[in-house]
Amino acid sequence: MLKKQKKLIALFLSTILILSMVNIRASSASSSVDIPSNLSYNITETTITVTWDEISNATNYEVEVNGSMMENGLSTEFIHEDVIIGSSYTYRVRAKTHEGTGEWSEALVVEVEEVINEEIMIGIPQNIVTETLEDSVVISWDIVADAVGYEVEIDGTTIESVNEAQYILANPELGIAYTLRIRAKNENVTGEWSEALIVEVEEVINEEIVIGIPQNIITETLENSVRISWDVVVDAVGYEVEIDGTTIESVNEAQYILANPELGIAYTLRIRAKNENVTGDWSEALVVEVEEIVIGIPQNIMTETLENSVRISWDVVADAVGYEVEIDGTTIESINEAEYILSNPEVGVAYTLRIRAKNENVTGDWSEALVVEVEEIVIGIPQNIVTEKLEDSVVISWDVVVDVVGYEVEIDGTTIESVNEAQYILANPELGIAYTLRIRAKNENVTGEWSEALIVQVEEVINEEIVIGIPQNIITETLENSVRISWDVVEGAEGYDIEVNESAIESVSQTEFIHWSRDWS
């Protein structure tokens, strides 16, 4: 019996030891799993979305809602649907890993009623205005933020499907005062009604159906028509024009063209504006006398004979869009500018020409006939050719020739064509050689005659030119901290060298040098 009791005691102690080890392991696993933190929520009218920070080694999350637990997988977001307004919900989250299940997070309490009331508010329409037309009233208001539609209540009847911040009340009864209210709505909430507004239809319609009378009516007589124009009338969608008692109804612009009027006839016209609601009053009657249209005759016709053409020009004629030129009885019609080029005229032939202007309405009279005798074009010959011999070149220059754009220089039978100035530099001439040169001028029309031949003996002149004078009248002036040295200008000199105590100072461009005391040695 005693042995049996000892065995039972031993078994009891063993069981206690095993349970203690299991609890120790479970506690150790729980403490090694992180607890979800930063629980937050977002609420709509029917759902609450709870989120938390991710646990890096989590294999699953469990969410407790008001004491009921549910699995949420690896998502760090829990969506609680079909929440009840006025209810309170308490949320806790814990993570599971391969090591065990962690502790619950701090509780997150969400009061549904309080949060939803903040989110579902929507503004009340403001600045409601009405515009009464002939057979309708346009009701408009400021757009309400977050609204997807509106409801309009007129005398207790609600129009629900209004998609814009405007409603048109069609065919209102004249003399009736309508009471209207407006409210905004979206998928979550319908807002409060605006203040009631009373609209008296008859009174406003009587004000709105007036339309202006056309002003500043102007007529412009063209070749085969009269253009009638006037200022645009506000709110007009069209006009009617009455000419000598006959009304033209479908005039869509503030302009009308009277086609083919009779010359010398006085037309009486009136104009009125209209829109879909009303036709306005007639303007004051205007009398239009249709006279013949004229255009000026070209003046100051001038001709300029070029090498292979004659340029004919004249003063621009007011209102002209083109011209016609007649040369010896042949008319050139399509001339857009106040100039015409007669190409390849025969030298010695006298051409008779006339010009007239034209526009879209009329072609004017011919100008007086002008006779043009085409003569041969000549250009001057270069004069006063001089040469200047330098150390390693010869500068050849001459007087500028009128109307030239360039020159050609011939040296010993070889022609240099592209000479743009009245000067040419013969580089590196051979000493003792006599060069023969000629020059001629040219422009875009003609190349002139050669000048007389000029012989240049290079050696003789170069020997004269390479000598340069010696500075004279050297003067020194002692100052406080320097010495000023000056001398006379040397003809042909481009600079001077100065030697101070056997040290040369080069590139002095003036006839003066300052030697400062700091440089003395």
SS3 463: helix
Chain-wide mean pLDDT for the chain? 85
318 and 393 belong to one structural domain = no
What is the distance between the alpha carbons of residues 314 and 299, in angstroms, rounded to a whole number? 6
pLDDT at residue 23 tops 90: no
Q: Name the band, by pLDDT with cuts 50, 70 and 90, for residue 96.
A: very high
Q: 345 lies in a domain?
A: yes
Are residues 425 and 479 both part of a single domain? Answer: no
pLDDT band for position 188 (50/70/90)?
confident
Token readout for 453 is 């031949």
Same domain, 153 and 200: yes
pLDDT digits (tens, 9 = 90+) for 471-506: 999 998 888 888 888 989 988 888 888 887 777 776
Domain membership of residue 492 (yes or no) is yes
Sign of CA dihedral 400, 405, 409, 413: negative
Q: Look up residue 154 and give its DSSP letter.
A: E
For residue 162, what pLDDT is reported?
92
Quote the pTM value.
0.30
CATH of the domain at 403: 2.60.40.10
Which tokens in the block code for residue 4?
Answer: 């049996």
C-alpha count within 13 angstroms, C-beta hemisphere, residue 102? 25
Per DSSP bridges, beta strands 246-251 and 238-243 are: antiparallel
38 and 26 belong to one structural domain? no
Closest CA to 479 of 520, 517, 518, 519: 517
Regarding whether 51 and 25 lie in a shared domain, the answer is no
84 token code pair = 């009840």
Give 226-280 pLDDT, tens digit per residue.
Answer: 899 999 999 999 999 999 999 998 899 999 999 888 877 889 999 999 998 888 9
| Rounded CA separation 114/88 (Å) | 10
Domain membership of residue 213 (yes or no) is no
pLDDT at residue 352 in the model = 93
The whole-number average pLDDT for the span 191-200 is: 90
315 and 264: one domain?
no
Residues 204 and 134 in one domain: yes
Of 486, 490, 475, 491, the residue nearest 513 (C-alpha): 486
**Structural domains in the chain (count):** 7
pLDDT at position 86, please? 85
| Model confidence at 210: pLDDT above 90 | no
CA distance 162 to 152: 7
Per-residue pLDDT reduced to its tens digit, 117-176: 445 689 999 999 988 877 788 999 999 999 999 999 999 999 988 999 999 998 888 788
Residue at which a domain ends, from 289, 314, 342: 289
Decide if 378 is inside a domain.
no
Q: Is residue 443 one of the residues assigned to a domain? A: yes
pLDDT of 190: 87
455 vs 44, which has greater pLDDT? 455
**pLDDT reported for residue 116:** 43
Is pLDDT at 94 greater than 60 in this prediction?
A: yes
* Higher pLDDT pick, 462 / 21: 21
Whether 258 and 321 map to the same domain: the answer is no
Percent of the chain with pLDDT over 90: 47
pLDDT in tens, 386-445: 998 888 899 999 999 988 889 999 999 999 988 999 999 999 998 888 899 999 998 877
Residue 297 is assigned to a structural domain of this protein: no
Q: In angstroms, how far is the first alpha carbon of the chain from the final one?
A: 135
Q: Please indicate, yes or no, whether residues 321 and 368 belong to a single structural domain of this protein.
A: yes
Q: Whose CA is closest to 157, among 129, 180, 134?
A: 180
Q: Is residue 337 part of a domain?
A: yes
Give the end of a domain, one of 68, 99, 119: 119
What is the number of alpha carbons within 13 Å of residue 120 lying toward its C-beta? 17
Is there a contact between 360 and 223 (Cβ–Cβ < 8 Å)?
A: yes
| 413 CB-side CA count, 13 A | 0
- The verdict on residue 103 lying in a domain is yes
Q: Looking at the structure, tell me whether residues 367 and 400 fall in a common domain.
A: no
pLDDT value for 172: 87
Res. 82 pLDDT band, cuts 50 70 90: confident
Shared domain check, 364 and 348: yes
Strand order from edge to edge, sheet including 454-457: 414-419, 406-411, 434-442, 454-457
Residue reference for tokens 């621009």: 316
- Structural domain that includes position 233: 218-289
Same domain membership, residue 37 and residue 18 = no
Q: What is the pLDDT of residue 519?
A: 58
In whole angstroms, give the CA distance from residue 54 to residue 35: 10
